[in-house]
Amino acid sequence: MLPNAADLGFFPRLSPSFSRYDPGFLAGTSMASPHVAAVAALLYSQGITNPAAIEAAIKRFARDLGAPGRDDEFGYGLVDARAALRGMGVVR
Amino acid sequence: VKRATGVALIGLLVCAVETQAQTNLGFRGYVTFGPTYLSATETFDAVAGKSSENGIGFGGSLDNIWEGLFIDVGLSKLKIDGERVFVFEGTVFPLDIPLTIEMRPIDVIVGWRHTAGRWRPYGGGGISLTHYTERSPFAESGDDVDVNEMGLAFLGGVDFTATPWLGIGAEVRYRRITGILGAGGVSQEFGEDQLGGVSFAARVSVGRLIPPAVPSRAPAPAAEPRPPVRAAPLPQRPAPAPAGPIPVPYPAGQTTVAWQWLTDSAIHDAADVAPSLDLNDSTPRGFSVTTTANYRPWFGATTEITASFWTGEAVDLIQRWTLMVGPTFIARQNRVRPFGQVLVGAAYSRGGIPDLGLSFEGWDFALQPGGGVEVAMSPRLGLRASIDGRLLSDEALSGKTTTQWRFTLGVTFFHGGF
């Protein structure tokens, strides 16, 4: 049986463990933009390929936070991937 | 509202049963089948790719409660399959999530039906209680829709009484339902808040369609045996009075099919805005079908359907349809008979003028007083010409009241007994 790379000492031997990761609070556009980008990619995969339409969908279905409508603290609110991908029916 | 409607219905039924012995009450059950054209065209075009669908219906009617008065309760079902969408600046993006829409209106209509002859026109108005549902997969609480809303319904049509117990006919039904659309979803994006529309249907009726005798038109002497009901009953001539003026014979009903020309103030306004488009190079024209049930020599109830179309190089087929009802007064002393009438109802308009960026569609209130002259060529055939002034609320096109002058020339068929 051939040794693997870890057995030969090329890599430190690590076992998966959640205790190795500490919860932390991170904020700002660096954290927000990947979430928004992911939702944008999902909308694109649904056939909404117009960038302006993708932006409109993300804003339209965001969960409003803080003052009603857009505000400087929360922007348009919390991105809601499910609502954006589900779109609209006739009444809702 | 449901309780009040139920109490009113029970009251009418009790009155009807109590008067049956005196007035020869008729009753019928019926089925209908035909297309419904929904008012919210842009909304349903977006989610289903169409704004009309065939539907079935059934119901029952108590006829001749008093002088031709009937009460009709009908239930119909309309199902449309589409998909959820996203709308951005008028562009629709389908999202591949199925959407099933169902409408089940229950209409309670009170109206008048002509009670003699084989052709029996009828018309009326009432309420419509509509059950509306909207379902899609992966729905969570609050995603689907299940609501009831009350609205208005108007009905007009004609039955051909094939036998005393079987009738076939055609009818037009208009419903106006607010309170369901317009508050969210695609309907809000397109600013459409009317769920109703126009339904055209073929109708087959089974029941006691021909009362053995109709006291108001043909009182039968009590001492004489009543003649058997025939397949093609001829209404009896009203009993002549022993003294006084000779009764004027008049047809039980009459139908006029006419060609019509119109002037339209909204079109003239558009032509003034854009003189280079030569919008006045053509005149709206179309047809009308007018049916009158004559209750007296000088008085009848009229139902009228009209359609006018305006075409031109700069016009994207502007069409206006109307469905109106009202009284008609006519002087029948001679072959040349002047008449006047006042009709009210609904108008449906759609079309556009692309060069003006104008595209419109919607329902409006219509009022049409007018009159003309009818010339009897034979007992069954006549010619008719009329001039009407029509007012449309015209929120669809101009946003203000539109005045139309209408000229018609047509052929009149007198049907039923005299």
pLDDT tens track for A47-60: 898 999 999 999 99
Read off the pLDDT of each residue in B144-162 and give the average, rounded to a whole number: 91
pLDDT digits (tens, 9 = 90+) for B205-224: 988 886 544 444 444 444 45
Q: Tell me whether residues A88 and B101 touch, CB distance under 8 A.
A: no
Residue B12 has pLDDT above 70, yes or no: no
pLDDT digits (tens, 9 = 90+) for B37-79: 999 999 999 999 999 999 999 999 988 888 888 999 999 999 9
Residue B198 has pLDDT above 90, yes or no: yes
The overall average pLDDT reported for chain B is: 83
Provide the token pair at B383.
Answer: 């010619």
Return the number of other C-beta atoms located less than 10 Å from residue A38's C-beta: 12
Read off the pLDDT of each residue in B169-195 and give the average, rounded to a whole number: 92
In this prediction, residue B335 has a pLDDT band, given cuts at 50, 70 and 90, of confident
Q: How far apart are CA B327 and CA B33, in angstroms?
A: 29
Read off the pLDDT of each residue in B383-388 and give the average, rounded to a whole number: 94
Q: Do residues B181 and B187 lie in contact, with contact meaning Cβ atoms separated by under 8 Å?
A: yes
Q: Which residues pair with B290 in a beta bridge?
A: B256, B304
Residue A61, amino acid: F
| Per-residue CA distances from B357 to A59, B271, B314 (Å) | 28, 14, 11
Q: Tell me the percentage of chain B whose pLDDT exceeds 90.
A: 44
Q: What is the per-residue pLDDT for B211? A: 58
Q: Which residues pair with B344 in a beta bridge?
A: B325, B367
Read off the pLDDT of each residue in B357-373 and give the average, rounded to a whole number: 87
Q: What is the per-residue pLDDT for A64? A: 92
Helix (H) or strand (E) run with residue A56 in it: helix A51-60
Residue B328 has pLDDT above 80, yes or no: yes
| SS3 state at B251 | coil
Least confident span in B168-182, B270-284, B285-299, B367-381: B270-284
Q: How far apart are CA B275 and CA B270, in angstroms?
A: 8
Q: Tell me whether residues A90 and B187 touch, CB distance under 8 A.
A: yes
Residue A6 has pLDDT above 50, yes or no: no
Alpha carbon A86 to chain centroid, angstroms: 16
Residue B339, amino acid: F
Residue B236 has pLDDT above 70, yes or no: no
Angle (deg, nearest 10), helices A29-45 and A51-60: 110
Return the number of other C-beta atoms located less than 10 Å from residue B151's C-beta: 19
Nearest to B258 by CA among B286, B302, B288: B288
Residues near A17 by beta carbon (within 8 Å), at least 6 away in sequence:
none
Nearest CB to B84 within list A52, A53, A86 = A86
Nearest CB to B186 within list A52, A85, A89 = A89
Q: Give the N- to C-terminal CA distance of chain A in Å, as an integer.
A: 62
pLDDT digits (tens, 9 = 90+) for A19-40: 666 667 778 888 889 999 999 9
The overall average pLDDT reported for chain A is: 82
Nearest CB to A90 within list B89, B91, B181 = B181
Predicted ipTM beyond 0.90: no
CA dihedral B223, B225, B226, B230 (to 10 degrees): -160
Read off the pLDDT of each residue in B80-101 and give the average, rounded to a whole number: 92
Q: Tell me whether residues A92 and B185 touch, CB distance under 8 A.
A: yes
**Interface contact B103, partner A, CB < 8 A:** no
In this prediction, residue B248 has a pLDDT band, given cuts at 50, 70 and 90, of low
